[in-house]
Structure formats: structure tokens, C-alpha cells
């Protein structure tokens, strides 16, 4: 049954580009793309009658190379790929949208939006994200930005974002996040019924799929998984954290599993929906969006944080809740702010009474680094296995 549900999702995603092209060509709806990072309230886009489309693809060295005709290598591979896919013209999602929304949380993705400005006729809407975000001034700034976004998508679609429509969209996406959280928590089991690679792929699908379809599929999948156990796993349990895991960038996840580890939970800023906090379904809907997307978010893009302690506390709680033995910090090259922050997390882990070992990995979208990554991951897993064995003898 679970296999049938996952195959159904695969078949749906295979046909999704054709469906979106028909929607665009027929003029049935407008398609509004956005850079992923979970600072854009897609509920507003959906309430305007447009199709939200998260640009979440990555892992392809050809897309990165294609971007080099317009930009130097100083952007991270994911950001370069977001423009490179448009250059190549082979990934249809990148040629279907009527508007691109770029939340300004990452200077690399901001520059990717600039490339669309210079080299395409795609209209760009930049959504400012305040820093610091934990005060009334930041909330007010973000609230005003959302009002401008609402006006922009209303102009694009010709549809008014009414309070009733916005509440419906909020409820729909709240249900999606609830289901993702419920499925995620099944990985607390010693024998998780779903792998983290599979779970992250569900998140990637949620950026692309129709939300009504996705909610129905996630509900079916949760009902099938909740009483199941996966295969017995004796290797170390791993938390993976970092700025980005794109659709197609599963190399590190695969290597951890191949080397005997089990990734049981993730803390990823771009590519994975933040399902631990939801939008309130009562009160003023626009205020509820500001509250969830800014005030109650403990995880943010690196340079947006007023303090790292909030993020580290969240990682430690995840590690405790999911019985983690070690942490893998995975980031792409050129991501300077995350690179700096990784050293502080390592120090924080060492300072704990029961410290968690951490491995930092830097990668390109390049098959050539698979061998060196495997060597480092194998060594890390062996260290964790030795540490676990020593603790069991105490």
C-alpha cells in the first residue's frame, strides 16, 4: 500500500509539468514561482487563485555550469542552478511562471533574482524579510511587504484576496504542515517506517504539487505508515542540518545510509517545509501569517538570526527528541554565513554534558566529490559506532 502511494506520487510529478503548461497556455490560472526557504506565505498566492510553484531543483552540475555565462562562481551552486535551469531550458518548471517572488533572506538567491531581471522578461517581486525580525518594527515591515505582495498577485490574477479565501488557503496549508509533522515524528521509532530521503522528497513534492492533491496523498500515506515498522537498523542515528537540500541533491543522504548510518531527522532551511509551527486559523488572517512566518519561527536563514542560540537550542531539542547519536552539517560551497555558524554549533555541542559529535561537509553539485565525502562519512560513522559501543559497556 505504501509503495502504491509513493508510486502514485511519482506518476503525478511526472505529469505535473504537462498539467502546468496546459494551465499556462489556456490562461486558466497564473503561475507564481518562488525561491524556497519558507519565508513566503504561499497562502496569499493560492488565495488569489494562482498556482504557487517552489523552485526547488538542484544537484545538477550542468545547470550550475550554464549559469556561468552570466555570473561568476561566487554564488552557491543552488543559487546558480536556479538561473542555470532557465538558461538550459530543459527543466520545464523554470519556463512556466508568470511572476517570480524572491524573499530576501539569502544574498545568493537575491543575486539569482537579479539575473532573471537582467536576462529575462519575467517580472520579479522582492519580498523583504526583516532582520532583526523579533520585534514590532520587524513585524510591521514584514506585514507591509505582505500587503504589497497581495496587491501584486491580485493585479496579476485579476482576483481579490478576500478574507474568506485566505482563511481557506491557510487551513489547507496548515493541514499539509500538520501531516508532514505527523509523518516526520514517525521517525522517532527505533525502526522508522519511512527514510529521511523519502520524507524530504515529500517536502520537495509539496513545493510543486497541487496542495489539495498533496494533502490527500499525505493523509493516505500517514494512515498507512503510522502502525508500521521499518527494517531493523543498528547503525548510528543522524541529524542532518544546513542551508539547503534540493530536489536531486540526495548524494550526502545516500552516502550516510550506504555507510551504515540512519538519518532520522533534518533541520534544513531551503527545500524542506518548516512544519513545526503553523498558521493560526482564527483571528485576522494576515496578522496570523506574520505571526507564524516571522514571530514564531525558531529556524531562519543564517544571517537573518538575531542570535544563534535560538537555532542551536532547536537543533539540540530535535537531537534529544529523535535519539540522535551524531550531527552532519551539510552545506554547499560559497555559503559563507552558514560556514561561520557551523563552528559555533560545534563548540556548543562540545560544551554539553553529553556532547554530540558533529561532521561538517562542504559540497558542490559535482560527482567528483563523492569519493572524498564517502571517506569522511565512513570515518564519522565508525567513530559514532565506537562511541556507542563504549557507552553501552559503561
At residue 347, the pLDDT reads: 76
At residue 352, the pLDDT reads: 62
Query: Among the listed ranges 171-180, 236-245, 305-314, 379-388, which one has the minimum average pLDDT value?
Result: 305-314
Give the residue-averaged pLDDT of 287-292: 94
At residue 340, the pLDDT reads: 77
Domains of the chain: 2-166 (3.40.50.11890), 233-393 (3.40.50.11900)
At residue 344, the pLDDT reads: 78
Mean pLDDT of the chain, nearest integer: 91
Give the residue-averaged pLDDT of 288-317: 76
Percent of the chain residues past pLDDT 70, beyond the cut = 93
Q: What is the pLDDT confidence band of residue 298, given thresholds at 50, 70 and 90? A: low
Contact at 8 Å (CB) between 112 and 75?
Answer: yes
Q: Report whether pLDDT(308) > 90.
A: no
At residue 145, the pLDDT reads: 96
At residue 236, the pLDDT reads: 97
Q: Which residues contact 252 (CB under 8 A, 6 or more apart)?
A: 240, 328, 330, 361, 363, 373, 377
At residue 388, the pLDDT reads: 55
Whether this model's pTM surpasses 0.85? yes
At residue 256, the pLDDT reads: 97
Give the residue-averaged pLDDT of 255-272: 96
What are the two backbone dihedrals, phi and then psi, of residue 55, each rounded to the nearest 5 degrees? -85, 95
Q: Which residues contact 389 (CB under 8 A, 6 or more apart)?
A: none
Each residue's pLDDT tens digit, 30-43: 999 999 988 999 99
Give the residue-averaged pLDDT of 126-149: 87
Each residue's pLDDT tens digit, 119-136: 999 999 999 988 766 678
At residue 391, the pLDDT reads: 42
Q: Report whether pLDDT(190) > 60.
A: yes
Amino acid at each position: 500500500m505504501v509503495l502504491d502511494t509513493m508510486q502514485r506520487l511519482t506518476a503525478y510529478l511526472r505529469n505535473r509539468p504537462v498539467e502546468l503548461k496546459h494551465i499556462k497556455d489556456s490562461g486558466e490560472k497564473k503561475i507564481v514561482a518562488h525561491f524556497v526557504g519558507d519565508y513566503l506565505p504561499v497562502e496569499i498566492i493560492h488565495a488569489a487563485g494562482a498556482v504557487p510553484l517552489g523552485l526547488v531543483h538542484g544537484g545538477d552540475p550542468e545547470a550550475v555550469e550554464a549559469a556561468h555565462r552570466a555570473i561568476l562562481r561566487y554564488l552557491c551552486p543552488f543559487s546558480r542552478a536556479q538561473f542555470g535551469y532557465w538558461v538550459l531550458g530543459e527543466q520545464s518548471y523554470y519556463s512556466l511562471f508568470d511572476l517570480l517572488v524572491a524573499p530576501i533572506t539569502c544574498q545568493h538567491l537575491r543575486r539569482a533574482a537579479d539575473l532573471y531581471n537582467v536576462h529575462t522578461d519575467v517580472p520579479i517581486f522582492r519580498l523583504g524579510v526583516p532582520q532583526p525580525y523579533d520585534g514590532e518594527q520587524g513585524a510591521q515591515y514584514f506585514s507591509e511587504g505582505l500587503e504589497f505582495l497581495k496587491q501584486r498577485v491580485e493585479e496579476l490574477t485579476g482576483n481579490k484576496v478576500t478574507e474568506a479565501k485566505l482563511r481557506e488557503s491557510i487551513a489547507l496549508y496548515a493541514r499539509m504542515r500538520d501531516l508532514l509533522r505527523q509523518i516526520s515524528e514517525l521517525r522517532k521509532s527505533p525502526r522508522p517506517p519511512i527514510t529521511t530521503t523519502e520524507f524530504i522528497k515529500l517536502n520537495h513534492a509539496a513545493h510543486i504539487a497541487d496542495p489539495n492533491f498533496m494533502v490527500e496523498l499525505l493523509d493516505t500515506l500517514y494512515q498507512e505508515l503510522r502502525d508500521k515498522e521499518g527494517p531493523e537498523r543498528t547503525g548510528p542515528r543522524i541529524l542532518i542540518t544546513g542551508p539547503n537540500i534540493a530536489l536531486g541533491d540526495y548524494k550526502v543522504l545516500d552516502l550516510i545510509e550506504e555507510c551504515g548510518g540512519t538519518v532520522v531527522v533534518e533541520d534544513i532551511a531551503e527545500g524542506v517545509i518548516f512544519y513545526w509551527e503553523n498558521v493560526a486559523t482564527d483571528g485576522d488572517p494576515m496578522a496570523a501569517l506574520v505571526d507564524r512566518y516571522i514571530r514564531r519561527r525558531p529556524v531562519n536563514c543564517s544571517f537573518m538570526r538575531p542570535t544563534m542560540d535560538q537555532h542551536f537550542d532547536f537543533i539540540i531539542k530535535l537531537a534529544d527528541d529523535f535519539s540522535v547519536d551524531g550531527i552532519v552539517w551539510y552545506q554547499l560551497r560559497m555559503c559563507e554565513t552558514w560556514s561561520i555558524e557551523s563552528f559555533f554549533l560545534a563548540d556548543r555541542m562540545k560544551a554539553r554534558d553529553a556532547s554530540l559529535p558533529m561532521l561538517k561537509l562542504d559540497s558542490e553539485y559535482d560527482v567528483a566529490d563523492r569519493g572524498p565525502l564517502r571517506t569522511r562519512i565512513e570515518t564519522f560513522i565508525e567513530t559514532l559506532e565506537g562511541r556507542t559501543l563504549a557507552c553501552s559497556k559503561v
